[in-house]
Structure 1
């Protein structure tokens, strides 16, 4: 594959890099997670963020929204939540003419929506959220209400606490562009986290004492995101790279042709949404690296995040303790490079 030249640093790339740097100042030791959040934003897709409690899932998403010119809303999912609590509803208002129904939008009508602990809400609420994610609109009382052009849902869930939860069905998991894992930071980074939080507490106490707060830089404008998306749409993807992405996804459906382990591990393969997600995320990753072409490393880097929630593992794999990431690693080892 003939390699193209690096693209010049555009204003959009500079602003997105500034956004990434600001997020890195608030989130210590999670550079890969920050990169995945930005990939989801630039690829115009929704993310499922999973990790143990206290690993800054909510903080990372808030850091993105705080440094971007956007409307932010947070929905705390609970078992008693109703679909109308997410989408909004028609409310009757008395007027001089008599009365009328008006639509009161719910928290889903924002640019960045944090769906905290999505697996704690019942199926009806999950379905209402996921329908809004997929269709980018909500229909109430026969009227359609569309989302803003910049709209992304970032949902979190806890992988270990299952009491009182409602696991997302596999078909609904497929609607998330990526499934991002957050792991424990190294001890050196944890020391920096302690110092960072202590400094924030001291700054807050000082501002309460003096009544003055530190000046914050202006948020990154939404137009930077749209400009970046236009540049990403022009990223070159060769025919060989398109075939490579399709081959990876197809291998999950015919694992018997790719070694001895994959047919034992994979019960149900990935849908065509996985191929589309590899293409979208691969182009964003290449753009963030400063290239105007997609190479195999872009695809291999984002493949675990794109595929880990789209593979249904067999009982044998689960019994052996095989993880989706191990399956993806074996897939990438077995599928020939272009």
Structure 2
């Protein structure tokens, strides 16, 4: 057997070793980490719904009615009325004919790509796409053609090289940089080349758009222009799982062919009930998105006033680029000493030389908590 110890030791030497934090509290701005109170700025709970009592109450009622587990895959006995209702509500929310639930965004992306493409086909992707989109391409056996981040001219050239069935897959909001894909231009490129356009809107849904409809609503794009939409439920929605939304034919094809759906136990029905509650809150309480906008604007003004250079991001994802993994870890450690939790993001999650602090905001953060973060960042500069 291979000796794994040298690999682990090398990760330590390269400042790339990781360990999970242990929380002793719900997901909210003030958390307990390993028994220590910390102010968190690294969660994806953008709207502050992960610990919302209304969502929790729907979860409890779901357990009372449906139990704690689904017991089987959707095609066996795992598909409850709660799942069916949530899928219908997600389809209506996204303006599509149907939606299909998955256990995670990773599984949803693998399902869509490997179902639509195979050997002899081509997939075009932004180089900063989420790992699940890249892995889906590899598992599909399709030819993977990547382009420099945000370079739509390079995307056009790659599409022109593509053969067989063509699909362009892209993050609506890039998870580590917080910037938006130029979806209107990519939509037109795909129309010209008769290619599918698939958008992973994990970090856009709930955050962007008039009622939280995400990147597509932000850009005023419809289901015809973007036929494949993936959204996750563990971020702005505050629960767990994911979905793919699209045409009747797309969803039926996934039901028949998608291995990561067919061979996976369904999410607990109680999660579906909780998500139905969070979806209603997400649509109705626009103040949450407005609050995020205020926090981002105040943070960017304050951080740039301290001399930090910020990439262009209008979203709750605000990266501070450190460069080396060692520097990112040092920054994270210095903030932790002040009781502020911002984890260091290092390769391979981001490209080598771009390790960073990935600061994220929740609608639940207060102005006082934001000011505390800025004071902590100012001390990094001294």
TM more than 0.5: no
| Bigger helix fraction | 1
Normalising by structure 1, report the TM-score.
0.31
Normalising by structure 2, report the TM-score.
0.29
